Structure 1
Amino acid sequence: MQQSQMIVNRAERLLECTWRPEWAAQAREAAAEFLLDLRSPPPAAIVQILLLLVSELVTNGLRHGGGVSAMSLRADRRSIQVIVADPSPAHPQDRTPDLTGHTGGFGWPMLQRLADSVRVEPQPGWSKAITAILAR
């Protein structure tokens, strides 16, 4: 997996990186490395939540969205954002979780509970991008 972009704005303490992961493990590894580059690392609990959000967003993009067009991470003094774009125009849907483990249904509600904010936005050339925001 190749990092395609890195933006650093020291005045605003903004760091942004973009990748195109092919599986969730790559995305988690990229996110962990991104967090190591932050001037002020977030608390361990935020790190764990962020890695879970990254994993779920990428897995959902791969499983339901036809792949991952891009994954971006942005951090500033106040928050960390995870943005995952996929080619599907379909928005995630709440559904009854399958307790047998066959069809899932746990990821989207979990994302909504763990993140401070989640939004789905149409994207030109991407179809949609899902952004999850965590306060630092």
Structure 2
Amino acid sequence: MADTSGRTVGLRCEDARAIAHKVLAAADVGERLMDDVLLVVSELVSNSVRHAGGVTDFHVRPLMDCVEVEVSDASSLPPRMPGTPVEVPGGFGWLLVNKIADRTEIRSHDTGKTITAFIPLSTAVRQAPGAGLD
């Protein structure tokens, strides 16, 4: 949903997945890439909702060699890897995003942060079917 400024606010995982699916279907991406992008979208959006007060902006863009997923929220705190700190559970979604994406970027700004994940078109080649987290 967009507010009067055009920003995407109150976005739920299922909404973000539906938007991403529509964009990627129009770009005629393969099923494996679609699944990978939808998983990254789910992780980034659910973490924004759970830990950062919700999504303030969201974009999915097919590019020449990858699909760019961009999620912004109002928190300046970066995602964390599992076990950092050791007594706090979680962090596995961020690990998964970084396993699927060729690269990720975190940009801080006055209103929070933006996380961008770049999922290569060749994810099926990079990850054999059935390959799990190491």
Bin for the TM-score computed over the shorter chain: 0.7 to 0.9
Structure 2, gaps ≥5 residues long: 122-134
Counterpart of 2:75 in structure 1 is 88
Q: Is the 8 A contact 1:120 1:130 kept in 2?
A: yes
Partner Cα distance (1:44, 1:19) in 2: 26
What is the aligned partner in structure 2 of residue 132 from structure 1? 117
- 2:55 equivalent in structure 1: 68
Percent identity over the alignment? 31
TM-score in terms of structure 2 length:
0.77
Name the residue aligned to 1:120.
106
Structure 2 counterpart of 1:56, one-letter code: E
Structure 1: 4+ residue segments shifted above 6 A: none
Q: Contact between 1:21 and 1:70, CA under 8 Å: does it hold in 2?
A: no
Please list every run of 5 or more consecutive structure 1 residues that lacks an aligned counterpart in the other structure. Answer: 6-17, 98-102
Q: Give how far 1:20 is off.
A: 3.6
Alignment of 1:29-108 (within 5 A): 29-38=18-27, 41-96=28-83, 103-108=89-94
Shift of 1:63: 0.5
Task: Measure, in 1, the Cα distance between the counterparts of 2:30 and 2:11.
Answer: 28
Aligned residues between the structures: 117
CA RMSD of superposed structures (Å): 2.3
User: How far apart are residue 65 of structure 1 and its match?
Assistant: 1.1
Does the Cα contact within 8 Å between 2:9 and 2:57 map onto a contact in 1? Answer: yes
1:76 positional shift: 1.9
Kept in 1, the 8 Å contact 2:61–2:69? The answer is: yes
The one of 69, 77, 96 equivalent to 1:110 is 96
Question: Following TM superposition, by how much is the alpha carbon of 1:2 offset from its aligned partner in structure 2, in angstroms?
Answer: 4.3
More strand by share: 1
Name the structure with the higher helix share.
Answer: 2
* Counterpart-to-counterpart distance in 1, 2:72 and 2:117: 12
Confirm or deny that 1:26 pairs with 2:15: yes
